[in-house]
Structure 1
């Protein structure tokens, strides 16, 4: 304490600092006397004539010390001090009680119990009171000075850390296998990494010059890149664009994925841009090769399917003609052979049609002949057509209300449910009932096909609708195109299809088909 008292109240170190002293007394003459005593301290004096007024000041301001009269009407000094100590912000603000009546030791103890830093009885020595107040003023000023120094040290530390972080960041960015530019909001380039300079064969100054940068772009890609960057500047949003850049040592152009991302401050105001370019040339060429291979495969399959149609139709005609010419005189062995031949031709014809349908779906030219379809009648017809193929231990149960009508292509919808029911029979080797349930739900029709067969392994569920995707390999035949075609037809009708199964044999699968009642064809 002696050290603080001896410190000059207006030392150069804290000359710019100021604190406040709160004077609380219900008698204005007493406030004037206190003001005269404390004015030499050079601090702002705030006067309050009641405890409630003092509490209002404490809501908005901080004080080095409070001089509080004990005897006041309405809210006395002890009650006011109790309320001051209840608030976190003023819990430790020093309070000096002033009184002309309470001289007993018990009263002083009562004051200290209410948080008093000191208890002064009137009349008092003005110099002694000023010295006591000065101690708390100096403590407050020293605390402010320490806070300032702490803030300054923190800012200095942050600046040092920021410089170190920037150096570390630039070292890291220079080592990255991608190109990086930093720009101001107006597009002026402030930084570019070494990887870009080495690739483009540019000096550091050239690496920040837009004319030099654009000279590295492929002429066919430059306008597209400019348009993307202009749009990003206009909207202040990130963008991506692919372009080719010339490599300096051999003049070869390679594909890059360019990204432009905005930088913002804590108020979300734009402060700059970061542009990166990632080499995607190898993956781009691989994708182009795969695309070309896929297109060649699709063309081959389509051409092969078309070429197979004619001989298959001729074979079907010859089989029919042979059975017709032979009449009732055909031997049982020949009849069975012709029936087997007919089934093989029909199976081959179906495979050919599947290939053609897949080609139509991939090209997007599968046309639908839409009209009103009685779903109840359609499902019964499909079940009657397939039922003879099933063994007596299996049967198909249709649960669909009569008069359930939707708009769609009846032939294509027949193809959907024929495929689903055929699969249900094929993958139910142990028999069991196959239940087809159809119901209306909020303007849509929800059809489920449930069997009790092998089920679908959970890891295969998301692949069964892909081309050549089969849940159980080649053991059950087929090319794996049926569900691909089913999904394409359903989606062409504006619907969706999915499957559920736990993969346990005997618990089977459930296929869900949801179709709109009104036509809602995709664009």
Structure 2
């Protein structure tokens, strides 16, 4: 029942007239059947059967108030017919009166009662006595039918009362909720809107039937939300869509998130829909503002990074000139200061390059210079360069003799450098760093494994996001290297992922898989 529907609050419905009781008379002599019909016709509908077999066929199709059954019949006699009647669940409680021309000896009577008879009538019978006996059972049958109908009517009334109470409670609950709540019929027609809806729209709670195409919905959203609603109603799937509703008080449109779920009965059939519309205007505007701020931030980072490259390049050149010109003449202190300055300039240059690369990724301007090359020499050179920077770590390289592929060697080297440098950085106690490469099913596979501090499970989903760091800023960096590496690998048509149990000493393993011919 939808919230706009209710049960009949009046008295019980008028009971329909009870049907006439059916009386089954079974006798193999037609004159006897006619006599019984004439005698009992005004007590109920008399159905005649000429044999036990015919009587059983009637009982398969109809219910009877009483059975008058001749004992002596060819084929199935009265006793056998009664036994079969009592074996069926549907007919076992129908009263049976035996008609017999035999004397009422004890064994005969006992057998009849044993087969379920409630009485005996001797032939020839007195019409008044037979009518008296039959009328008792007919009256009992009609009283029982009347009780059944009254019980059904009472159950219906209870169900209607429960539905009215349920609908009332739903309505109270809907009116108490601080969001728009609607009820719809199984075919999707909206029937009711709660108090929040009436306060928002200024319309009556029932003025919702054509909501999706009404003036309350923003003109740009009407067709889209209507199409989404029709799809949900047609498929029975939940409905979720964002649209704008006009506030009657301010005449301004506000964003709402519409959701709907079907109500189903115990058989799974849809009996209605409950729809909600939650005001998300503040959230929507905050998201838009955040998006604008993010764009502005990215633009600033891109511009700042670009502008920083020139002074950094100049600083690097001045440091190198000073080292060449005065290196042999400088004492240990000034020489170490120049070396430290050189390293810091290199570090700043790397950070600026990362910021520029991220900016290019976001704007789709990170280009690749694709060519045919052998990956193995590139991996050897990278490992030798990084090994020279860290004597505490043992870099192990395992590759085939050659591994020809197609891609951007400079960008691939950048990815390998990021992964191996991270493995060294997050292994503060030293240890082995393994770099393996092989070809598999038309792909080149890289694997970098360390024995460091590992990555907590909850951090694995975020380490490839911009500025995402598994252990904060403790180990340096901006958290851009993996973001850039992922962008480069994806541009090569591949993917990159990490595995770690977050246990110190077990470290992490990074996997790269990309086509040999990108």
Residue 172 of structure 2 corresponds to residue 176 of structure 1: no
Q: Is the 8 A contact 2:22 2:65 kept in 1?
A: yes
User: How far has the Cα of 1:317 moved from its partner?
Assistant: 2.5
Partner of 2:11: none
CA distance in 1, matches of 2:381, 2:107: 106
So what's the TM-score if we normalise by structure 1?
0.76
User: How far has the Cα of 1:504 moved from its partner?
Assistant: 1.9
Change over 3 Å in CA distance of 1:195–1:489 after alignment to 2: same
Partner of 2:227: 231
Q: Is the 8 A contact 1:469 1:480 kept in 2?
A: yes
Residue 472 of structure 2 corresponds to residue 470 of structure 1: no
Change over 3 Å in CA distance of 1:378–1:141 after alignment to 2: farther
Residue 455 of structure 2 corresponds to residue 456 of structure 1: yes
| Deviation string, structure 1 residues 121-151 (Cα, Å, up to 9, x no partner) | 7646364555545444433332322222222
Residue 150 of structure 2 corresponds to residue 149 of structure 1: yes
Change over 3 Å in CA distance of 1:340–1:133 after alignment to 2: farther
Equivalent position SS for 1:289: helix
Partner of 1:308: 308
Change over 3 Å in CA distance of 1:392–1:174 after alignment to 2: closer
User: How far has the Cα of 1:388 moved from its partner?
Assistant: 3.1
Residues 66-465 of structure 1 mapped to structure 2, 5 A cutoff: 66-67=67-68, 88-96=89-97, 105=106, 109=110, 112=113, 116-118=116-118, 120=120, 123=123, 125=125, 127=127, 131-180=132-181, 191-200=192-201, 202=202, 204=204, 222-232=218-228, 235=231, 237=233, 238=239, 240-243=241-244, 245-246=246-247, 248=249, 251=250, 253=252, 255-257=254-256, 259=258, 261=260, 276-325=276-325, 335-371=335-371, 379-391=379-391, 394-398=394-398, 408-437=407-436, 447-465=446-464
Deviates more, 1:495-504 or 1:62-71: 62-71
User: How far has the Cα of 1:98 moved from its partner?
Assistant: 5.9
Q: Is the 8 A contact 1:14 1:141 kept in 2?
A: no
Q: Is the 8 A contact 1:176 1:195 kept in 2?
A: yes
CA distance in 2, matches of 1:180, 1:244: 13
CA distance in 1, matches of 2:112, 2:487: 88
CA distance in 2, matches of 1:35, 1:445: 97
CA distance in 2, matches of 1:229, 1:191: 18
Equivalent position SS for 1:366: coil
Q: Is the 8 A contact 1:241 1:258 kept in 2?
A: yes
Deviates more, 1:83-92 or 1:152-161: 83-92
CA distance in 1, matches of 2:381, 2:444: 18
Deviates more, 1:458-467 or 1:77-86: 77-86
User: How far has the Cα of 1:224 moved from its partner?
Assistant: 1.4
Q: Is the 8 A contact 1:102 1:121 kept in 2?
A: no
Number of aligned residue pairs: give it. 497
Change over 3 Å in CA distance of 1:70–1:340 after alignment to 2: farther
Unpaired stretches in structure 1, ≥5 consecutive residues: 1-11
CA distance in 2, matches of 1:117, 1:436: 95
Partner of 1:487: 486
